[in-house]
Amino acid sequence: MTARIHTTGRFRHVLTALLAGACLALAQPAPAQSTGRDLPDFTVLVEQVGPSVVNIRTSARVSTRQYPGPQMDEEMQEFFRRFFGIPFPGPRVDPRRQQRPEQEELVPRGVGSGFVITSDGYIMTNAHVIEGADEVYVTLTDKREFKAKVVGSDKRTDVAVVKIDATGLPAVKIGDVGKLKVGEWVMAIGSPFGLDNTVTAGIVSAKQRETGDYLPFIQTDVAINPGNSGGPLINLRGEVVGINSQIYSRSGGFMGISFAIPIDEAMRVADQLRTTGRVIRGRIGVQIDQVTKEVAESIGLGKPVGALVRSVEDDGPAAKAGLEAGDIITRFDGKTIERASDLPRIVGNTKPGSKVTVQVFRRGSYRDIPVTVGEFEPERSASAGTPEPRPGGAPLAAAQDLGLAVADLTPAERRELGLKGGVRVTAADGPAARAGLREGDVILAVANVEVQDVKQLEAVLRKLDKGKPFNVLFRRGEWAQYAVIRPAR
C-alpha cells in the first residue's frame, strides 16, 4: 500500500513558502565557523584562588647615629661648593651639639607575594623575598595583617615557608606538573610593584627550562614584575602548578619571558622545611660539566649525554667508590642523566646513606659502580690555577707534529695531585695548543687509553691514525676535562 501526502490549498501555499525560504538560505553564504576554542574566562579562577594569595612585606633593622638638626648629605654639599662657592667644613661637628646615641630603626625592605598551603597558616613564598628580613608581615585579601614567623628557607631552590597565627584560611589546591602541557593557559596572581591581587595570564612557553639554577623551570609568557615573586602560577582547573620566581629582562621589567618553580619540587622542599626547618640533600662529592658533541664523538659515547666528572673530592663518597675525573655519569640509581644539570637534582633528592648504582662511561666502555650517598654540605671550591712551570721535558718523537713536550710526574707530584699516573705538559704548540692544552696540564688518557708515563704516552701516540682527531683527558689544577686534538695535514 502506497502512502500519499495530500495537501489542501492553504497548506500548499505554506509548503511552497518553506521550500522557497530553504532555497534562499542555501543560496546565502554560511556564517564563519570558529576553528579554535573560545578564550578562557578567568573570573571563576580569580574568585576561587584569589583569597589564598597574600601580600608579603619585609622590614630590616638598620643602625643610625644622628645629630640634632637637619643634616646635608655629601652630594648636596659638593653641589653648593661647585656652583655657589659656599664652603663646608666637612664632617666636623659643632662641639656644643651633643651626639645622639646609636639607634636602630626598622626600614621597609621589599614587597613580594605568597599563597596559603594549609588552613592553619603555613604560607609558601620565594626565599629571596624574605632574605635579610628582620620582620615579615603578611596581608590577606580581607585586609587582615599578621606578623609572620619564618619556618625555613632554602636558597638553592628559592623556596621559603612562613607561618602566621590564623586558622580557617583558604588553602590552594596543588596541581600535577606532569600533566602540564606547553601551550596550556595559566594565570598568575601577585603584587607587582606593591599592587595587591593583580591578575595576569598567558600560556606555558616551555617546560624543564634550564637557567643554571638547581631546578628546571616552567617558562611562561605571563606578565611577571617585581613584587610577583612568590605568587602562584595557576592552571585552568584552579590548581597551583608553580611559584613565580624569575624573569628574563634587560630593563628590569617584564619582557615576555618569566620562570616558575615547579610546584612538586617546591612542595618537597616545603615539607622538609616544615618538618625540620632545613632541607636534607644527598651528595657524592664531584664537580661536573656538560658533555659536548665533539667530546662525545671523540670518546665513543655517541650522543652528548651525561655529566662529565671534572674533579672528585678527596675522601668523598665518589672517591671512596672509585669514580675518577674524566668519567661520564650516564645513569644514577636507575635514572638517566640526559644533561649535567640533571645529576645534582637527582642526587640531591636521594636520601643520605642510600647505596645506589652509578653507571659511568670510562675509556670506551660502561661500568656500574656502587656509591653510598653522603649528606650535602658546602663543597670546597676547587682551584683552577695552573701549576708553576717546572724545568724538563722534551718533544716526543711520536708527537712532534702535535707540538707537545711532556715529562714524567715525580713521586712527590703524584702524591700532591692524588694521581697514580699521568704526564706533565712542559710545552704546547701547533695542534695541541689549538686544542686548548698548555704548559702545566697533566695528561691522564689519550684516545680512551690511560697513560701512566711518557713511555706509554709515546706508545699510544704511535698507534694512532696520524690524520684523524683523537681525544685527550687532562687535568688543570683541580679540574679534569677533555680536549680533541686535530693533527695537521
Q: How many helices (H) and strands (E) does the chain have?
A: 11, 28
Give the helix ranges, DSSP H, for 51-130. Answer: 74-84, 127-130
- Whether 231 and 242 have beta carbons less than 8 Å apart is answered as no
228 labelled binding-site residue: yes
State whether the Cα torsion 391-397-398-400 is positive or negative. Answer: positive
- Whether 60 and 134 have beta carbons less than 8 Å apart is answered as yes
Would you report the helix, strand and coil content of the chain in percent, each value rounded to 5? 25, 35, 45
Q: What is the DSSP string of 21-35?
A: HHHHHHHSPPPPPP-
Please provide the distance, in angstroms rounded to a whole number, between the alpha carbons at the two ends of the chain: 99
- d(CA 357, CA 341) in angstroms, rounded, equals 19
Helix, strand or coil, per DSSP, at residue 219: strand
**Cell numbers describing residue 382:** 676547587
Give the CA-trace dihedral at 174, 179, 183, 186, to 10 degrees.
-10
Helix, strand or coil, per DSSP, at residue 408: strand
- d(CA 192, CA 204) in angstroms, rounded, equals 20
227 labelled binding-site residue: yes
CA distances from 388 to 140, 372, 424, 425, 477 (A): 62, 36, 11, 12, 10
- Whether 220 and 228 have beta carbons less than 8 Å apart is answered as no
- d(CA 397, CA 399) in angstroms, rounded, equals 6
- d(CA 179, CA 11) in angstroms, rounded, equals 60
229 labelled binding-site residue: yes
- Whether 213 and 97 have beta carbons less than 8 Å apart is answered as no
Helix, strand or coil, per DSSP, at residue 314: coil
- d(CA 446, CA 441) in angstroms, rounded, equals 13
235 labelled binding-site residue: no
Residue 265 CA from chain centroid, whole number = 12
Question: Quick one: which H or E segment has residue 66?
Answer: none
6 labelled binding-site residue: no
Residues classed as catalytic: 128, 158, 229
Q: Pick out the residues of the known binding site for substrate.
A: 128, 158, 227-229
